[in-house]
Chains A and B, each alone.
Chain A
Amino acid sequence: MQVTLKIFRYHPEVDKTFHYETYVIENAQETDRVLDLLEYVKGYYDGTLAFRRSCAHGVCGSDAMRINGQNMLACKVLVRDVGTHITVEPILGLKVIKDLITDMEPFFENYKKVLPWFINNSPLPEDGRERRQSPEERARFDDTTKCILCACCTTSCPSFWASDDYLGPAALVAAHRFIFDSRDEAAAERLKIISETSGLARCHTAFNCTLACPREIQITKAIAELKLATITGRV
């Protein structure tokens, strides 16, 4: 089957601004991943096409891009899902460095702001074994442990587009992962951080994040739980 790929191109060393380039692939399959098509274009049409990728099955978070106008992982969407006319563009709200590669630093900076690491300064269990946690307590934060930091969510959020000082859904998801972990002791510190002006209050439940998340994390729900936690104190 024939697939037409329209790809956003920008080479900082040659181009003043971006343009679109169209490639026609003749013998594509409907089970091809969009990533396969990009690899094909890079391999046989134009080696200069630049994009990130690694695992090729939706678990490393390298290849978030806008495909037919919506954020997704190029490796987790097949031709049969998006049709034969495919537009591929970089994710929004981050600087475009080259073609589909964006500057991820602000994204990771925001992530680091919420203290995304386990904190528990109490003495370890005396038997030298694991800290106990019931399956129910573990289930409480299961959803948000799945995040692969692909940035599909944050770069689909209108609040983040408005300005990248908004922590963004991915950072809030990370905060949720720890705040609702019964073993963690720094919920208060994190809640303070995320309830600053650039945090929770900037989420207007636009829901783009939840629809974009390739891990199907219920992000809007997680954020709402955080908002409520600041009010009820229940974590």
Chain B
Amino acid sequence: MTKLHQFDVVVVGAGGAGLMAALYASRTAKTAVISKLYPTRSHTGTAQGGIGAALGNLEEDHPEWHTYDTVKGSDYLGDQDAIEFMCYEAPQAIIELEHMGLPFDRTPDGRISQRPFGGHTNNVTGKPVRRACHAADRTGHMILQTLYQQCLKNQVTFFDEFQVLDLILVNGRTAGVVAVELATGEFHTFHAKAVIFATGGHGRIFEVTSNAYSYTGDGAAIVLRRGLPLEDMEFFQFHPTGIYKLGILITEGVRGEGGVLINGLGERFMSKYAPTVKDLASRDVISRAIYTEIREGRGVNGQNYVWLDVRPESVNQYAAMDGRTNPDGSPYTVTGEQILTKLPDIIDFCRVYLGVDPLTEMMPVQPTAHYTMGGIPTNKYGEVVIDEKNTVLPGLYAAGECACVSVHGANRLGTNSLLDLVVFGKHAGLKAAEFAKHADFEALPAHPEEEVRAQLEALRNGSGRENAFEIGREMRKVMFEEVGIYRNERGMRFAIEKIHELKERYKHIRVRDTGRIFNTELLNAWELGNLLDVAEVVAESALNRTESRGGHSREDYPDRDDQNWLKHTLIWKRNGHTEISYKPVVITKYPPKERVY
């Protein structure tokens, strides 16, 4: 039995991007939000450090600087028109969030407080600038809560714990989605004029990751299966500071507040790699630096980690050495108390998971898979585009981490993702509602849920020799080792072969749960299928790009190659094979130049 619903706009995903889209779409169109998690469980809630906007509340700052920093951060792969659009919309977007009640931290004169973040600079001096608007180290939590609350206030319709399994396309136009209700196992067809994908990322393809269990790339995989391309999938961000082994994120805000990275010899090594901004260089730079330290034997105790030091006395010592000052020009100093109020959750994580008190001890950190720059290609209105010529697919939109606008290019700057969600989520919502106003419903195919039903049945009736968990574990390991921070041809070929092997084994996995109610085993298995599909295109895209740029760094091609590679990858899956093509990068004001911090 299938239930049928009809909405003008259906938003898939209730993270920052999905909720923002829903909030705006629902003003003029009948809108539903479908989410496999309760909205407040979305990954946006884990974002810690801040959301970037050149408000200039504490010192001089301009959207133009923000634009340049982002272009530079993207290693010139970001589309400059989109970046400019986002950075100029940013201050208004933040103010709007504040008007929705978001409890930002405040400056003494009652304005939104801001802190420095990696890669965000004063373009004149090159020094870090305070641009990240924050609420302690819970900025994402506050955004998610505030947006969810506003959606409740505006009576947006939610389908909580419904997992979308398929996208219905009819004659190259969007007709809706198919979802399964977790609590009953029933299929629901959502007939819609416009569909907005905001399903987040796929960091679970890697072993050490800051990403949630639910980050299984559902949106990307569905789109891929429906014959649409994904963009720039080789670019994955490794955040320099994850808790050793666990991958739990230690926000860049720690370094924003003055924390420093220390190697096994007790040296502050970032001054070697980024003489000007040191520990606040952009993430790809720092992750590589840490890896280099470890590989050259300067990890702590010969292990794969280094120290992150935010003990007040260290902070004060290095701040004095750097000549860092407060807005009023006095030397920058902190006390343990202040660190505790600015980074309470980080301190808590370390105490709980490591038994380490960051106020008196250093934290063991290692780079952790964090953010996917690539995704479903869209233009700056969130409309999904499906080829090299940026042809729009009518009625389909994407926003947030699952989309690739591309504003992050080859490497995302910290705080720009939350900004991305808010700005492009909003515009996707507005565009979708506008589209729905003029469009008609596409007629649904006779049995829209047939294909996914078959997919799930196949899993359920597999011959049952293989263990899905084991397959997942092997995938994460090979991806982290061979398609991780450093890549080379041999390793990636090995990884691709391995993924193919795992996909073959995946056909024979064993699902024991035959029930319909909350069959998490079955759905986890389906999610594993998505991860494998996504892992494959990540590795394929990476293998093809024979240069190093931003998050993609190859040992066999260590240099950036603007001659041949200043272009976006598009990858399709057709008849079981991947096909790769490229489209140009939009460059308006900032011609590529060498990137030093």
Q: Are B101 and A118 in contact (CB under 8 A)?
A: yes
Q: Are B99 and A116 in contact (CB under 8 A)?
A: no
A33 vs B213: C-alpha distance in the bound complex, in angstroms? 14
- Mask: chain A, 40-80; 1 = CB below 8 Å from B; 0 = not: 00111011101101111111111000000000000010101
Q: Provided the pairs A57-B353, A145-B142 are in contact, do residues A124 and B99 lie with their beta carbons within 8 angstroms?
A: yes
A121 vs B15: C-alpha distance in the bound complex, in angstroms? 26
Q: Are B111 and A59 in contact (CB under 8 A)?
A: no
B89 at the interface (CB under 8 A from A): no
Q: Please tell me which stretch of B41-49, B63-71, B79-87, B563-571 contacts chain A, meaning at least 4 of its Cβ atoms lie within 8 angstroms of it.
A: B41-49
Q: Please tell me which stretch of B316-324, B326-334, B516-524 contacts chain A, meaning at least 4 of its Cβ atoms lie within 8 angstroms of it.
A: B516-524
Q: Are B37 and A54 in contact (CB under 8 A)?
A: yes
Q: Please tell me which stretch of B284-292, B414-422, B507-515 contacts chain A, meaning at least 4 of its Cβ atoms lie within 8 angstroms of it.
A: B507-515
Q: Select one of B152, B349, B512 contacting A116, CB under 8 A.
A: B152
Q: Are B467 and A44 in contact (CB under 8 A)?
A: yes
Q: Provided the pairs A138-B103, A145-B103 are in contact, do residues A131 and B98 lie with their beta carbons within 8 angstroms?
A: yes
Q: Select one of A48, A54, A76, A183 contacting B521, CB under 8 A.
A: A48
A57 vs B350: C-alpha distance in the bound complex, in angstroms? 11
Question: Chain B's nearest CB lies how many Å from the CB of A169?
Answer: 16
Q: Are A57 and B518 in contact (CB under 8 A)?
A: no
B1 at the interface (CB under 8 A from A): no
Most chain A CB within 10 A, of B101, B104, B108, B248, is at B101
- Mask: chain B, 112-146; 1 = CB below 8 Å from A; 0 = not: 10000000000000000000000110100110011
Q: Provided the pairs A54-B213, A62-B37, A130-B95 are in contact, do residues A47 and B517 lie with their beta carbons within 8 angstroms?
A: no
Q: Provided the pairs A47-B521, A116-B149 are in contact, do residues A55 and B469 lie with their beta carbons within 8 angstroms?
A: no
Q: Are A118 and B40 in contact (CB under 8 A)?
A: no
A148 vs B138: C-alpha distance in the bound complex, in angstroms? 11
Which of chain A's residues have a CB closer than 8 A to the CB of B520? Answer: 42, 50-51
A126 at the interface (CB under 8 A from B): no
Question: Chain B's nearest CB lies how many Å from the CB of A90?
Answer: 12
Q: Select one of A44, A103, A146, A183 contacting B101, CB under 8 A.
A: A183
Q: Select one of B103, B355, B515, B516 contacting A141, CB under 8 A.
A: B103
Question: Chain A's nearest CB lies how many Å from the CB of B493?
Answer: 29
A96 vs B461: C-alpha distance in the bound complex, in angstroms? 28
Question: Chain B's nearest CB lies how many Å from the CB of A51?
Answer: 7
A80 vs B354: C-alpha distance in the bound complex, in angstroms? 11
Closest to B103 in A: A145
Which of chain B's residues have a CB closer than 8 A to the CB of A61? Answer: 40-41
A103 vs B160: C-alpha distance in the bound complex, in angstroms? 12
Closest to B153 in A: A117
B345 at the interface (CB under 8 A from A): yes
Which of chain A's residues have a CB closer than 8 A to the CB of B93? Answer: none
Which of chain B's residues have a CB closer than 8 A to the CB of A19? Answer: none
Q: Select one of A47, A58, A124 contacting B512, CB under 8 A.
A: A47
A96 vs B519: C-alpha distance in the bound complex, in angstroms? 15
Q: Provided the pairs A14-B515, A98-B517, A183-B101 are in contact, do residues A55 and B46 lie with their beta carbons within 8 angstroms?
A: yes
Closest to B94 in A: A130
Q: Are A43 and B141 in contact (CB under 8 A)?
A: no
A181 at the interface (CB under 8 A from B): yes
Give the interface size class of chain A.
Answer: 35 or more
Closest to B138 in A: A146
Q: Are B41 and A54 in contact (CB under 8 A)?
A: yes
Which of chain B's residues have a CB closer than 8 A to the CB of A59? Answer: 45-46, 141, 345
Q: Are B101 and A130 in contact (CB under 8 A)?
A: no
B273 at the interface (CB under 8 A from A): no
Q: Are A138 and B105 in contact (CB under 8 A)?
A: yes
A83 at the interface (CB under 8 A from B): no
B595 at the interface (CB under 8 A from A): no
B183 at the interface (CB under 8 A from A): yes
Within 8 A of B (CB), among A143-197: 145-146, 148-149, 178, 181, 183-184
Q: Are A57 and B46 in contact (CB under 8 A)?
A: yes
- Mask: chain B, 174-200; 1 = CB below 8 Å from A; 0 = not: 000000000100000000000000000
Question: Chain A's nearest CB lies how many Å from the CB of B62?
Answer: 16
Closest to A53 in B: B213
Q: Are B111 and A78 in contact (CB under 8 A)?
A: no
Q: Select one of B99, B108, B515 contacting A135, CB under 8 A.
A: B108
A119 vs B99: C-alpha distance in the bound complex, in angstroms? 10
Which of chain A's residues have a CB closer than 8 A to the CB of B467? Answer: 43-44
Q: Are B517 and A62 in contact (CB under 8 A)?
A: no
A76 vs B152: C-alpha distance in the bound complex, in angstroms? 29
Closest to B108 in A: A135
A33 vs B352: C-alpha distance in the bound complex, in angstroms? 10
Which of chain A's residues have a CB closer than 8 A to the CB of B94? Answer: 130
Q: Select one of B45, B146, B348, B517 contacting A13, CB under 8 A.
A: B517
Q: Provided the pairs A13-B515, A43-B469 are in contact, do residues A118 and B100 lie with their beta carbons within 8 angstroms?
A: yes
Within 8 A of A (CB), among B391-427: none
Q: Select one of A11, A97, A101, A108 contacting B38, CB under 8 A.
A: A108
Closest to B183 in A: A97
- Mask: chain B, 430-446; 1 = CB below 8 Å from A; 0 = not: 00000000000000000
Which of chain A's residues have a CB closer than 8 A to the CB of B516? Answer: 13
Q: Provided the pairs A55-B212, A101-B518, A124-B99 are in contact, do residues A133 and B110 lie with their beta carbons within 8 angstroms?
A: yes
Which of chain B's residues have a CB closer than 8 A to the CB of A48? Answer: 512-513, 515, 521
- Mask: chain B, 450-486; 1 = CB below 8 Å from A; 0 = not: 0000000000000000011110000000000000000
Q: Provided the pairs A54-B212, A55-B212, A132-B110 are in contact, do residues A120 and B105 lie with their beta carbons within 8 angstroms?
A: no
Within 8 A of A (CB), among B151-165: 152-153
Closest to A57 in B: B248
Question: Chain A's nearest CB lies how many Å from the CB of B514?
Answer: 8
A138 vs B213: C-alpha distance in the bound complex, in angstroms? 33
Most chain A CB within 10 A, of B183, B246, B510, B518, is at B518
What are 23 sample pairs from A and B whose C-beta atoms fall under 8 A apart? Answer: A11-B515, A13-B516, A48-B513, A50-B519, A50-B521, A54-B214, A55-B45, A59-B141, A59-B345, A60-B40, A60-B45, A61-B41, A112-B152, A117-B152, A129-B111, A130-B95, A130-B104, A132-B111, A135-B107, A135-B108, A145-B135, A148-B141, A178-B101
User: Nearest 5 CB-CB pairs, A to B?
Assistant: A118-B101, A43-B469, A132-B110, A117-B149, A117-B153
Given contacts A43-B468, A132-B109, 8 further A-B contacts (CB under 8 A): A54-B214, A55-B43, A60-B37, A98-B518, A103-B183, A118-B149, A130-B94, A130-B95
